[in-house]
């Protein structure tokens, strides 16, 4: 059990355990996109269990909003909402991390009047009901970086322990990194080197903003998806470069978005090597790594660490059980019934009833 407890993330920052609440969309903010009472209850329960809680994707601007009732950090109006969120997470002893997000071309339609869906280039996503986005002008890209900066300053003012840049799951930061969605000819696109420009400018901005507005203990993380299935799409070779650049900047953690912590390449089905085995070799400064995907037992959590991850993120299992970390640490079966005691917001609970893979994994919703 000792290996799963008292994780020293950085100098002067120790987590009570190595478990991280994975960021999961709640669809449950108030109509004005502030934190709802139901969301507050959801995060409060999980702050008591996890060493670190990463919030749902939080929009950095109006253009950034991707979901109905997505919480926002787009203006100072949201400072009191953000403070409620950080306070409720930290009240249980967890570190509170605000995930900063821009949906780009993946934004749902009809979220606000005269909606403007933007991306790195005017290339439609390969999904049902996708729309062709408007390519951001060069100056608008710099404006977007400023949106992230202002949202980070609000996170600092609101008492968060850190932020995570959401560079995964096909959203805007990933769209700039991807050769599928980024066909630009300015400084933000073209070669792999230029496709790295926007993500690395965001990281550099975050490091500078921490220096100006927060203490050195403020946590900066980055979430990424290692591959894309689209052609052209992000390859593991591309991601090794991304890992190297993130590691050189000495951020505080890198969070891999995976369906399984043992996941192998999606693009090369013949290669059964776990992705972590490939990517950790390029983590030149040994930045702490977060693994996620299908972890339900103590043995699995320990295997995550043995593979080279430093922290264990829990998603599905944290939907049903508010005591999920306690059960795993004590080698007890986790609860797989999602009910009133699970403290899920109503809209979130309605959404997950549509997730067929939950039933396949043995979860039921009451």
C-beta separation of 301 from 10 below 8 A: no
Give dist(CA 153, CA 70) in Å, integer: 19
DSSP lists the bridge partners of residue 314 as: 21
Closest of 300, 312, 324, 318 to residue 358, by C-alpha: 318
Query: What is the full DSSP assignment across 113-175?
Result: TT---EESSS---SSTT--PPEEPPHHHHHHHHHHHHHHHHHHHHTT-SEEEEEE-TTSHHHH
Identified catalytic residue from 27, 42, 78, 171: 171
Neighbour count for residue 60 (Cβ, 10 Å): 26
Give dist(CA 349, CA 208) in Å, integer: 39
Residue 335 is encoded by which pair of tokens?
Answer: 């609860």
Helix 138-157 to helix 79-90 angle (10° resolution) is 50
For residues 327-347, one letter each, b for 16 or more C-beta atoms within 10 angstroms of the residue's C-beta and e for the rest, the string is: bbbeeeebbbebeeebbbbeb
Distances (CA, A) of 300 to 260, 291, 296, 309: 11, 11, 7, 12
For residues 250-264, one letter each, b for 16 or more C-beta atoms within 10 angstroms of the residue's C-beta and e for the rest, the string is: ebbbbbbbbeebbbb
**Residues in Cβ contact with 100 at an 8 Å cutoff, skipping those fewer than 6 apart:** 58, 60, 73, 148, 151, 152, 155, 163, 164, 165, 166
Beta strand 13-17 with 5-10: parallel, antiparallel or unpaired?
antiparallel
Is there a catalytic annotation at residue 142? no
Distances (CA, A) of 194 to 200, 225, 327: 10, 18, 46
Closest of 91, 84, 94 to residue 13, by C-alpha: 94
The residues that are catalytic are 171
């Amino acid at each position: 059990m000792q290996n799963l407890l008292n994780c020293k993330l950085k100098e002067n920052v120790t987590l009570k355990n190595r478990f991280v609440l994975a960021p999961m969309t709640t669809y449950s903010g108030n109509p004005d996109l502030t934190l709802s009472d139901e969301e507050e209850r959801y995060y409060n329960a999980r702050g008591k269990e996890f060493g670190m809680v990463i919030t749902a994707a939080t929009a950095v601007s109006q253009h950034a909003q991707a979901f109905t009732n997505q919480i926002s950090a787009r203006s100072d109006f949201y400072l009191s909402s953000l403070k409620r969120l950080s306070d409720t997470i930290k009240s249980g002893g967890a570190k509170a991390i605000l995930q900063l997000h821009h949906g780009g071309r993946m934004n749902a339609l009809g979220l606000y009047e005269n909606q403007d869906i933007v991306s790195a280039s005017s290339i439609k996503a390969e999904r049902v009901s996708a729309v062709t986005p408007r390519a951001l002008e060069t100056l608008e890209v710099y404006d977007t970086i400023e949106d992230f900066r202002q949202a980070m300053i609000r996170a600092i003012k609101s008492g968060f322990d850190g932020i995570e840049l959401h560079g995964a799951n096909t959203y805007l930061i990933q769209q700039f990194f991807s050769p599928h969605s980024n066909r630009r000819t300015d400084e933000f696109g073209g070669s792999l080197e230029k496709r790295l420009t926007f993500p690395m400018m965001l990281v550099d901005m975050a490091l500078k903003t921490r220096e100006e507005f927060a203490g050195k203990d403020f946590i900066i993380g980055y979430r990424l998806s290692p591959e894309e299935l689209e052609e052209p799409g992000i390859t593991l070779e591309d991601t090794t470069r991304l890992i190297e650049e993130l590691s050189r900047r000495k951020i505080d953690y890198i969070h891999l978005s995976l369906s399984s912590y043992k996941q192998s390449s999606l693009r090369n089905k013949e290669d059964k090597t776990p992705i972590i085995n490939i990517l950790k070799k390029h983590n030149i400064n040994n930045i702490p790594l977060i693994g996620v995907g299908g972890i339900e037992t103590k043995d699995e959590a320990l295997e995550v660490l043995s593979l080279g991850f430093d922290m264990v993120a829990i998603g599905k299992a944290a939907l049903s059980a508010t005591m999920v970390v306690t059960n795993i640490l004590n080698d007890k079966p986790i609860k797989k019934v999602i009910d009133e005691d699970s403290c899920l917001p109503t809209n979130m609970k309605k959404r997950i009833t549509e997730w067929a893979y939950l039933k396949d994994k043995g979860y039921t919703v009451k």
